[in-house]
């Protein structure tokens, strides 16, 4: 079930735990009134349904069709109010904002001294937890309240507030600029992918250097450092400097490791940091470090202290299992990895309301690659076709392209080559349309196209020749990524040596990390 295509209220109701549903019913029961009875009835119906069904709602409640939209909006808001009252959802930012609301109420009632007392406490908490923007907002309100509450200390108090306001304003500006740059680079990575030539590289480099604000790293807070490391991480990913991406992913994770409070305040960023650290190690093919980091990640998840809600639990599932699959690729343990697929599918089903379709398709590509490595080509094709036939999918272009190339190879290996020419032509057109036709891909597709003209006794020589050609691109700055999504070199070596792809990659793994 796609979250985007499902009714928002229905999704919210289905996301509630048993205790949250019980709390909501108690909260709603105290409100009273006929309209409240209607939205409680609406809640009960939605809770029982497997999918949003307007007919069932109208049939099982006293709500008229013209009232349904307002009833849904009312129920949605009341559920959020109920959840807000639950301590498990009250993070530092919410608690500070609540104090800010209380201080505003007291100020409006003319109780200036009480308002300032609450604001001072809220400001200290915000500063302690690196909530710079909130702290700035509190200081601005303090200035307004102080202007109404005249005391003998007003002069020194005003000077202190002005200095604090200027300091927080500068920090907020740097934080905003760094977070903007980080978001722009991430968007660039999703839309355009990795640089593919010197011209692309220069454009990205010039944009990055021109957009990076001036800063003194010694004066940066933890939040500013986090966005700084994120910006450098995306820049290194886009420019295919995977050693650089590893360096900044490690800095990102270290920020949380040496400041444990940040884990609870920003659990999503912590999970993402570990995931990008693992992804960088995977792209660098650093097996031993990858394995130890994955073990550390599992230990952290078993600790469970920072997994505060369903969102972080779903992210933890995504990142843990994607990287467990990546470990099988690094080790060459494809058949062993196949045993994990049923467990992953079960987890996907249990988290389906929280996982977007893109990540499900990434899992499918991983499954297909495992089946390919285990020489189970029909199962490989089964998962690739789920990706290729998904016309509504907004997925990274590189994965869409490599799904089609792997599909070609799997059809060839499965002996399903009666329509291979048609498949080759459609793949070639798709790659040109997506502007993703790299030299490695072009040479490989040309080779597959000419396979029918090669006599059986000439095949091994043709594989050797292609292997020699492609090997030259293995460390090419813009072509090396092709081998990370589809290890064509190892596939060719398996054809030359007449052994499985799995045995080739296992052999390489043993030689590299013995």
Helix/strand/coil for 132 = helix
Residue 173 in any domain: the answer is yes
Query: What average pLDDT score do residues 158-168 get?
Result: 85
Among the candidates 221, 239, 257, a domain finishes at 239
Query: What average pLDDT score do residues 123-128 get?
Result: 90
Tokens in use for 304?
A: 């469970």
Residue 243 burial (CB < 10 Å; 0-12/13-18/19+)?
exposed
Cα distances (Å, whole numbers) of residue 433 to 246, 399, 428 = 32, 15, 9
Q: How far is the C-alpha of 398 from the C-alpha of 190, rounded, in Å?
A: 10
- Indicate yes or no: pTM above 0.85: no
* Confidence (pLDDT) at 5: 47
Q: How confident is the model at residue 154 (pLDDT cuts 50, 70, 90)?
A: low
Among the candidates 67, 89, 111, a domain finishes at 89
pLDDT tens string 461-511 = 888 888 888 888 877 877 776 777 678 888 888 888 888 888 888 887 776
* Confidence (pLDDT) at 188: 86
Domain count, the chain: 2
Q: How confident is the model at residue 306 (pLDDT cuts 50, 70, 90)?
A: low
Query: What average pLDDT score do residues 369-395 get?
Result: 87
Residue 80 in any domain: the answer is yes
Q: How confident is the model at residue 51 (pLDDT cuts 50, 70, 90)?
A: confident
* Confidence (pLDDT) at 1: 39
Residue 233 in any domain: the answer is yes
**Torsion angle, CA of 367/370/375/377, rounded to 10 degrees?**
20
Query: What average pLDDT score do residues 52-81 get?
Result: 88
Please say whether the beta carbons of 130 and 223 come within 8 A. yes
Least confident of 162-166, 281-285, 304-308, 324-328: 304-308
The answer, yes or no, to whether residue 393 has pLDDT greater than 70, is no
Query: What average pLDDT score do residues 256-272 get?
Result: 89
pLDDT tens string 108-118 = 888 888 999 99
The answer, yes or no, to whether residue 121 has pLDDT greater than 90, is yes
pLDDT tens string 402-417 = 888 889 889 888 888 7
Q: How far is the C-alpha of 324 from the C-alpha of 159, rounded, in Å?
A: 56
Q: How far is the C-alpha of 216 from the C-alpha of 107, rounded, in Å?
A: 38
More confident residue, 355 or 87: 355
* Confidence (pLDDT) at 152: 47
* Confidence (pLDDT) at 4: 41
Phi then psi dihedrals of residue 240, to 5 deg: 60, 30
- ∠ CA(401), CA(405), CA(407), 5° rounding? 115
Q: How far is the C-alpha of 85 from the C-alpha of 67, rounded, in Å?
A: 27
The residue among 436, 367, 370 whose CA lies nearest residue 400 is 436
Please say whether the beta carbons of 471 and 296 come within 8 A. no
Which value, in Å, is the radius of gyration of the alpha carbons in the chain?
28
* Confidence (pLDDT) at 3: 40
Give percent above pLDDT 70 in the chain: 90
Among the candidates 239, 272, 293, a domain finishes at 239
Query: What average pLDDT score do residues 202-218 get?
Result: 93
Q: Give all strands (DSSP E) within 355-482, no chain letters.
A: none
Residue 216 in any domain: the answer is yes
* Confidence (pLDDT) at 436: 60
Q: How confident is the model at residue 182 (pLDDT cuts 50, 70, 90)?
A: very high
Q: Name the average pLDDT for the chain.
A: 85
Least confident of 69-83, 128-142, 282-296, 440-454: 440-454
* Confidence (pLDDT) at 2: 42
Query: What average pLDDT score do residues 173-192 get?
Result: 89
Residue 183 in any domain: the answer is yes
Percent helix, strand and coil across the chain, each to the nearest 5: 80, 0, 20
Residue 310 in any domain: the answer is no
Residue 189 in any domain: the answer is yes
Query: What average pLDDT score do residues 304-328 get?
Result: 85
Residue 487 in any domain: the answer is no
More confident residue, 298 or 448: 298
Q: Which range of residues forms the domain containing residue 13?
A: 3-89
Which element (helix H / strand E) includes 234? helix 222-238
What contacts 103, CB < 8 A, 6 or more positions away? Answer: 115, 116, 118, 119, 122, 141, 145
């Amino acid at each position: 079930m796609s979250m985007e295509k499902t009714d928002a209220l229905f999704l919210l109701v289905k996301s509630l735990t048993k205790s949250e549903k019980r709390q909501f019913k108690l909260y709603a029961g105290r409100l009273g009134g006929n309209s409240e009875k209607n939205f409680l009835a609406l809640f009960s119906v939605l809770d029982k349904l497997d999918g949003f069904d307007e007919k069932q709602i109208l049939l099982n409640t006293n709500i008229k069709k013209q009232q349904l939209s307002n009833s849904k909006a009312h129920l949605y808001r009341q559920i959020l109010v109920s959840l807000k009252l639950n301590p498990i959802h009250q993070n530092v930012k919410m608690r500070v904002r609540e104090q800010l609301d209380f201080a505003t109420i007291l100020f409006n009632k003319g109780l200036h001294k009480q308002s300032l007392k609450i604001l001072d406490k809220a400001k200290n908490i915000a500063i302690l937890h690196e909530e710079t923007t909130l702290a700035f907002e509190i200081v601005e309100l303090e200035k307004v309240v102080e202007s109404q509450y005249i005391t003998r200390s007003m002069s020194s108090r005003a000077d202190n507030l002005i200095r604090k306001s200027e300091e927080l304003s500068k920090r907020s500006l740097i934080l905003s600029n760094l977070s903007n740059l980080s978001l722009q680079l991430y968007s660039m990575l999703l839309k355009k992918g990795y640089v593919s030539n010197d011209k692309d590289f220069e454009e990205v480099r010039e944009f990055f250097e021109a957009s990076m604000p001036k800063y003194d790293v010694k004066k940066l807070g933890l939040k500013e450092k986090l966005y700084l490391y994120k910006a450098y991480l995306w820049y290194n990913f886009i420019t295919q400097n995977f050693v650089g991406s590893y360096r900044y992913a490690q800095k990102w994770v270290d920020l949380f490791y040496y400041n444990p409070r940040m884990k609870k305040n920003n659990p999503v960023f912590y999970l993402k940091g570990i995931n990008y650290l693992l992804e960088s190690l995977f792209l660098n093919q650093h097996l031993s470090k990858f394995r130890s980091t994955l073990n550390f990640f599992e230990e952290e998840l078993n600790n469970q202290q920072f997994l505060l809600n369903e969102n972080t639990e779903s992210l933890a599932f995504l990142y843990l299992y994607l990287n467990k699959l990546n470990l099988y690729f690094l080790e060459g343990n494809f058949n062993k990895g196949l045993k994990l697929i049923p467990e992953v599918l079960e987890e996907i089903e249990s988290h389906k309301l929280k996982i977007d379709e893109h990540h499900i398709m990434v899992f499918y590509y991983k499954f297909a690659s495992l089946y390919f490595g285990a020489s189970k080509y029909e199962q490989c094709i089964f998962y690739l076709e789920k990706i290729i036939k998904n016309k509504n999918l907004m997925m990274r272009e590189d994965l869409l392209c490599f799904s089609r190339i792997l599909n070609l190879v799997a059809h060839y290996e499965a002996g399903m080559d009666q329509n291979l020419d048609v498949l080759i032509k459609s793949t070639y057109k798709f790659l040109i349309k997506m502007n993703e036709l790299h030299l490695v891909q072009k040479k490989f597709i040309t080779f597959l196209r000419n396979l029918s003209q090669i006599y059986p006794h000439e095949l091994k020589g043709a594989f050797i020749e292609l292997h020699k050609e492609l090997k030259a691109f293995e460390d090419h700055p813009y072509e090396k990524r092709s081998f990370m999504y589809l290890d064509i070199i190892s596939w060719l070596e398996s054809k030359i040596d007449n052994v499985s792809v799995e045995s080739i990659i296992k052999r390489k793994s043993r030689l590299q990390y013995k």
